[in-house]
Amino acid sequence: MIKLLVVGTVAYDTIETPFGRAEHVLGGSALHFTNSASFFTDVGLVATVGSDFKLEEISFLKERNVNLKGIQVSDGKTFHWEGRYGYDLNQAITLKTELNVIEKFRPEIPAEFGEADYVFLANIDPVLQSYVIDQVKKRSATIVLDTMNFWIENRYDELMDVIRRVDMLVINEAELREITKEHNLVKGAKRLISLGPTCIVVKRGEYGVLMVSGDQIFLAPAFPLEDVFDPTGAGDTFAGGFMGYVANVNDTSIETLKQAIIMGTVMASFNVEDFGINRIKRLSYKEIEERYTAFKNCLHFGDVKFKV
């Protein structure tokens, strides 16, 4: 039985960074998420792909206990996103968003996935995200949402309706500012909390992550890498590590959420080392443990001695 359900895009991406270009590589919010979360828990993936999609390219996920029964193959072409990064790798410039099969997609959740305790609504049309919430059987399920500028600009009202129905948001800083029209991230997060969610996790690219939950605030920097190659999917990979960790320990206390942020940060640090999903595809659990230890050493310091 799966513990974590994810719905979002499985895509072919064309990516240009200052370090190279990759055409039609595997990507999509739900694929990056699943690739990461599958290191920690049993994931059920719901998405649609076109008849051009090579399903064998994602069959490696089955070896990590991912259930792919929720993938619908539709007539037409797979969702395609084309983006470019300049030397500011924090800011993706979208060149093309070809929705293709997403336009007619109705995400049907297989009966066996409906019992999942944790649900991640990865970046996709908010109308579809709402349709998924309608199908979640467990009233106690923890539902977490992500989105991006494309949907904020094209489906604002529908997005606000979904925000009112979820427990947490994992969202990047530019999108938080765009939704709330509030420059200050703490104030913006609190504004979203006033709508219903209890916790907002703000992704800040190379500046790390800020979590606001009630009156608690937690901060984590990004892992200090020397070579960042392609940031595409870093946010979804972060969310996969975060949610995968939470689902595995089956707890949403603030202390667990802080640990989950560390795990998400560790996972995202690998994702940016190669194009698309490549780095996380060939990752080992030993490498995750080693980077966690290196990250913990970066964060550790003894208590300072105050003048008495």
Cβ at position 238, least distance to ligand AMP in Å: 8
Show the tokens assigned to 58: 């994602």
The span from the CA of 237 to the CA of 31, in Å, is 9
The window from 21-29, 56-64, 193-201, 245-253 that contacts ligand AMP (CB under 6 A) reads 21-29
Among 35, 67, 180, 232, binds ligand AMP (CB under 6 A): 232
Non-local (6+) Cβ contacts of 292 within 8 A are 262, 263, 266
The b-or-e profile of 120-131 (16+ CB within 10 A means b, else e) is: bbbbbbbebbeb
Among 50, 197, 205, 235, binds ligand AMP (CB under 6 A): 235
x/- track of binding to ligand AMP for residues 156-185 (CB under 6 A): ------------------------------
**Residue 241 engages ligand AMP in binding (rule: CB under 6 A):** no
Specify which residues 80 forms β-bridges with: 12, 98
The answer to whether the CB of 242 falls within 8 A of the CB of 260 is yes
CA-to-CA dists, residue 64 to 21, 90, 263, 275, angstroms: 29, 30, 18, 21
Residue type, 204: R
The window from 8-16, 46-54, 108-116, 243-251 that contacts ligand AMP (CB under 6 A) reads 8-16
Among 5, 7, 9, 252, binds ligand AMP (CB under 6 A): 9
The answer to whether the CB of 26 falls within 8 A of the CB of 67 is no
x/- track of binding to ligand AMP for residues 66-85 (CB under 6 A): ---------------x----
Cβ at position 170, least distance to ligand AMP in Å: 10
DSSP state of 112: G
The window from 28-36, 192-200, 221-229, 286-294 that contacts ligand AMP (CB under 6 A) reads 28-36
**Residue 17 engages ligand AMP in binding (rule: CB under 6 A):** no
Residue written as token pair 């739900």: 30
Q: Which is nearest to 207 in space by CA: 146, 163, 268?
A: 268
**Residue 107 engages ligand AMP in binding (rule: CB under 6 A):** no
Cβ at position 178, least distance to ligand AMP in Å: 13
Q: Which is nearest to 244 in space by CA: 161, 144, 129?
A: 144
Please state the φ and ψ torsions of residue 189, each to the nearest 5 degrees: -60, -40
The answer to whether the CB of 106 falls within 8 A of the CB of 131 is yes
Among 97, 130, 135, 256, binds ligand AMP (CB under 6 A): 97
Closer CB to ligand AMP, residue 173 or residue 236? 236
Closer CB to ligand AMP, residue 102 or residue 262? 102
Binding site for ligand AMP (CB under 6 A): 9, 11, 13, 27-29, 32, 81, 97, 123-124, 148, 150, 232-236
